[in-house]
Amino acid sequence: MYRYDSYDQSIVDARVEEFRDQTQRRLAGALTEDQFKPLRLMNGLYLQLHAYMLRVAIPYGTLSGTQMRKLGEIAGKYDKGYAHFTTRQNLQYNWIKLADAPDILAELATVEMHAIQTSGNCIRNISSDQYAGVSADEVADPRPWAELLRQWSSFHPEFTYLPRKFKIAVIASDDDRAAMRLHDIGLKLVERDGVVGAEVYAGGGMGRTPMVAPLIRDFVAEDEIISYLEACLRVYNRYGRRDNKYKARIKILVHEIGVEEYKRQVEEEFAHMRTLGLNPPVEELARIRAFFAPPAYETDLSDTIDRSDRAFALWLDRQVAAHKAPGYAIVNISLKPIDGIPGDASAEQMALVADLAESYSFDELRVTHAQNLVLPHVQKADLFAIWQKLVAAGLAEANLDLITDIIACPGLDYCALANARSIPLAQKIAARFADAERQADLGELKLKISGCINACGHHHAGHIGILGVDRRGVENFQLLLGGSGAEDASLGQITGPGFSEDGVVDAIEKVTDIYLAERTDGERFLDTYRRIGMTPFKEAIYG
């Protein structure tokens, strides 16, 4: 894992003290809310429905056990004993007191964490593949690239006030586990003639105008990626629609001027930028990469696992993924218990996961954009012991990528922007489909719920997506089918008129019935939908 150098630590510490002063001035009346609001937002502090909410950055979703333990301690000490993992691999505390916020940031700084650039029209937390560094099919570990971009984008003076927020993802496998093409910029690492570089996609995103990012360059070498992204951002910063908040994302610019014209302008800018000496020296790239060297895996480990416990075997088959090192496995920890809240974890659960990371996973864990956790380096011989501890903590649900592994934004239960509640609906759907055999029979089925058009719950990218809307003060839910945030990225299509909360659960059941009736061997829900189209599903729902 990357560790702060003295420069990283000093700027984070300085930012904490700056915010402490700003907060004191606000509480003393020296700053109005209009003056203070942009300052607190720059430090991840929002005012939500019930209280202040603090969003903490988890760079590319990687955490140490120490960091996770600290996050849990803060949940217990300053919040109400829990926190929420988000679809940007971040963490949110829901019940923060303003006066406590500087102390929380100071505690985060002791474990090399912060909340900087988790809000505002700047480059947000860089997201990545939760299997980075351990997936057998990746061309390189994407995290050194993500870390380089984190350093480049942190406090970047030219990109502090962009037309709108800006999200970047980096992956390195053909399997896209980070919704890369639904980002403002997505990088996919590829190898050409023995050199690792990046395919660059620009202009993707969800929100009220969802778009899948087109490819704008098929190869940029590592030692020029900063110049190239500077060029991408410069063109956006210059021509992005600052006149209209709803048309200010880069996707609108790319769409309005066209992919070819955007590419042309970026190339022109890139030709200029690459002469300015902005790219980091090779030594710095090597320094960053060294932090992500594989841990000291033991050799000659057995791959044999005792599957005699049926519940363990079910969990094993669903939650454990192949690791590139013999004798090791990747453990996915579900934060989607059937009667729980998607993405929520208690302080005690966070402490347990920290312990597991330290004891079994080279002190490392990951947060996924699907609001789950990952232990990336686990010896297969330890899987049963880990499972037993997860069972005791209520963290052993075996539903990865199944219909109850629901992405849900906080919705109207917490969020000031939301129009409808996401979480109660997620719970009703999970209850309806709770039967393990039924879920397994349905197979991979990614269901995603957003409580408003801002799409924090990624509803556009759900095989089944749900968008909560406000219909004259009453919650109403639109149903979408056919979206994907994976390597086969696509945008879901609305089925038709919306439903009540109970009505949309019934509609989903009808949709899954059609899938079961129409699927051919090996077809996922998404495959069947793409083959037979919307009509049979609409007829079942509305007919």
Partner 1 sequence: MKILTGNDLASGDVIWWAGDGWSRQVGDAADVGAQGDELARAEEAALRVVGAYVIDATITDDGVRPAHIKDRIRALGPTVRPDLTLKPNDADAGNWVI
CB 452, min distance to partner 1, A = 11
Cα R_g (the chain), whole angstroms: 23
Interface stretch with partner 1, choices 23-31, 177-185, 200-208, 484-492 (CB under 8 A): 23-31
| Residue 85, helix vs strand vs coil | strand
Interface stretch with partner 1, choices 164-172, 253-261, 319-327, 415-423 (CB under 8 A): 415-423
Q: Tell me: does residue 278 bind partner 1 (CB under 8 A).
A: no
Cα gap 392→394, rounded to integer Å: 6
Spatial strand order of the sheet with 364-367 comes to: 62-64, 364-367, 373-379, 328-333, 320-322
- Contacts (CB under 8 A) with partner 1, residues 338-377: 341
Q: Tell me: does residue 215 bind partner 1 (CB under 8 A).
A: no
- Contacts (CB under 8 A) with partner 1, residues 76-115: 80, 94-99
- Contacts (CB under 8 A) with partner 1, residues 314-343: 341
Q: Which residue from 113, 109, 132 is spatially nearest to 63, judged by alpha carbons?
A: 113
Which one, 331 or 426, has the nearer CB to partner 1? 426
Which one, 41 or 139, has the nearer CB to partner 1? 41
Cα gap 114→110, rounded to integer Å: 9
How many residues touch partner 1 under the rule CB under 8 A: the total is: 28
Neighbours of 20 (CB within 10 A): 16
CB 432, min distance to partner 1, A = 17
Among 52, 78, 239, 297, which residue sits at the site for partner 1 (rule: CB under 8 A)?
52
- Contacts (CB under 8 A) with partner 1, residues 449-478: 473-475
- Contacts (CB under 8 A) with partner 1, residues 172-191: none
Q: Tell me: does residue 423 bind partner 1 (CB under 8 A).
A: yes
CB 161, min distance to partner 1, A = 23
Among 251, 421, 448, 458, which residue sits at the site for partner 1 (rule: CB under 8 A)?
421
Q: What are the DSSP calls for 16-36, one per residue?
A: HHHHHHHHHHHHHTSS-HHHH
CB 480, min distance to partner 1, A = 23
Which one, 36 or 262, has the nearer CB to partner 1? 36
| Pairs from 267-274 (Cβ < 8 Å, separation ≥ 24) | 267/231, 269/230, 269/231, 269/234, 269/235, 270/227, 270/228, 270/231, 272/231, 273/227, 273/228, 273/230, 273/231, 273/234, 274/224, 274/227
Beta strands in 279-372 (DSSP E): 320-322, 328-333, 344-346, 364-367
CB 96, min distance to partner 1, A = 7
Q: Which residue from 2, 3, 66, 146 is spatially nearest to 363, judged by alpha carbons?
A: 66
Among 10, 17, 24, 27, which residue sits at the site for partner 1 (rule: CB under 8 A)?
27
Q: Name the strand (E) or helix (H) holding 480.
A: strand 474-481
Query: Which parts of this chain interact with partner 1 (CB under 8 A)?
Result: 26-27, 29, 33, 47, 49-52, 80, 94-99, 341, 412-414, 418, 421, 423-424, 427, 473-475
